[in-house]
Structure formats: structure tokens, C-alpha cells
Amino acid sequence: MMLADFAKVLESSTLIKQGAEAKVYTVELVKAAEGRPGITVLLKYRFPKTYRHPSLDSQLTKNRLTFEARSLTRALKTGVRVPVLKGLDLEQGWLMLEWIEGISLREWLQEHQQHEQSQEELLNLLSDVGTQIAKLHSADIIHGDLTTSNMMLRASKSQGPSRSNQEVVMIDFGLSSVTSLVEDKAVDLYVLERAFLSTHSDPNNRSLKHSSPLFEIVLQAYANYLSQESWMAIKTRLANVRMRGRKRSMVG
């Protein structure tokens, strides 16, 4: 895509999110017509940072996009549900991804977490989260920003009988890395645990200050997927990471 073409694409796209490092757009590549669905993709643009030296900024952008693209491709080959990579331009600083139609797990939990009739679906979805993360870590992929906002729910594509009509898709691999270090996998899990505690905990239950029942469901499914040896190593390190985190919070 030439620079002029890219500028036109941005003009016709819809900005849905802006962070410190990137802007995220939806782009309608093909408009819907009678008898033919449209094609919408997600465009992630790492815009130039004027506070950095241009050559350094360019190299950092290329590195981050390369890491993200590699992690997505590796995850997909491993069987993790992630958006399909549709395009990549390291020079202009963008990547194009499959558009995931649905809502985030965070939104779903905020609406359904306390509903009695949603408890079976809740168990199925959180177990799916644990399995997806275990698959990532088994492939030595560290997500780097595991939160319920970075997990989308879409209509299940599985064939045959299914316990749930929704499935979890992992998104936003902008901080991902590839490493076999147990420490990094434990920290990845700890980040998610803190997200559950801060966003999806019961404020009236003081006994749950350092524990999330929802995260425990995720962790159980995670453990079930791994070998006993792998799980015990990560479990031990996670306990250590938790202890360090609590000490930091006590010190302030």
C-alpha cells in the first residue's frame, strides 16, 4: 500500500481506540451488497512519536510490529484463537487484522457476572480463557497485557455439540514476546489475576482482597491443560510473584 493510498484508507476508516503507542481503526474494505456481506478489518497504526529521534522511533516501531506479527502467527499455528493477520507494513507502521465481531470478556462479565442463569456460561468462558492462555504459554508466547479487555467473545465456530455458544479470542499482542522463562509466564498470569481483582471482584467481600474466584476458574483450566511438571513449576513461581506483589503494595 503506497503512502497516498494509506492516507486515503485512514480518511475513510473509523477510529475506535487511541493509546500512547497506536491508533486502532475499523476499515470497510468491501461494502456490503445485496446477497454479499461486506469485509471489515482492523487496522493498527503505530504513529510516529515526535519526542523520539526519528531513526530510533522507526526501529522501535518495526521491532514491536514484528514481535506482534510473529506472536499472532505462532499463536494461530498452535491452535490459539487470535485474529488472523491480513497485512503488515513495517515502513509505514501498520498491521491489518481480522475483525472480531463481538464484545469483550470484560463487558460480558460486567453484565452477566451476578446473574444466576449465566453461571454455566461463565464457567465455560473462564475455562476457555485458561485453556487459551495455557496454549500460548506452551508455545512460549507471553501476551504481556492479559486483561479481560483483551479477550473478545464471538459466536462459537466449533463443530458438533458445544457447551457454549461463545468462544474466547485473544487480542492485542502489542506487548507480546517469546520466551520459555517460567518467571515470565507466572507474571503473565499475575497481571490477569490483578485485573480480575481490580475490575471483577466483589467490593463488599473483604476476604477476597487477595483472591479472585473467577481467576481460580481460569487457573484450574490452565493447570488442566499443562503437564504436571510444567504446572508445578509455574504454580511455584506464581506464588513467589504474588508474594513480591503484596510486599510492594504494603510498602506503597
Long-range interactions of 150-157: CB distance < 8 A, separation 24+: 150/104, 151/104, 151/105, 151/106, 152/100, 152/102, 152/103, 152/104, 152/105, 153/102, 153/103, 153/104, 153/105, 153/108, 153/125, 154/100, 154/101, 154/102, 155/101, 155/102
Superfamily the domain 3-98 falls into = Phosphorylase Kinase; domain 1 (3.30.200.20)
Average pLDDT over residues 32-36: 73
Q: Specify the pLDDT at position 137.
A: 99
Tell me which of 159-163, 181-185, 197-201, 216-220 is least confident. 159-163
Which pTM value belongs to this model? 0.89
Instruction: Enter the DSSP assignment of 232.
Output: H
Q: What is the pLDDT of residues 196-217, one digit of tens each?
A: 999 887 655 544 555 689 999 9
DSSP string, 54-110: HHHHHHHHHHHHHHHHHHHHHHHHHT---PPEEEEETTTTEEEEE---SEEHHHHHH
Going by pLDDT thresholds of 50, 70 and 90, the confidence category of residue 44 is very high
Fold agreement (3-98, 103-251):
no
For the chain, what is the mean pLDDT?
89
Q: Specify the pLDDT at position 33.
A: 72
Superfamily the domain 103-251 falls into = Transferase(Phosphotransferase) domain 1 (1.10.510.10)
Domains of the chain by residue range: 3-98, 103-251
Average pLDDT over residues 187-202: 91
Q: Specify the pLDDT at position 204.
A: 54
Q: What is the pLDDT of residues 170-180, one digit of tens each?
A: 999 999 999 99
Active site residues: 145
Which position has the higher pLDDT, 246 or 207?
Answer: 246
Average pLDDT over residues 34-38: 76
Average pLDDT over residues 27-50: 87
Q: Specify the pLDDT at position 5.
A: 78
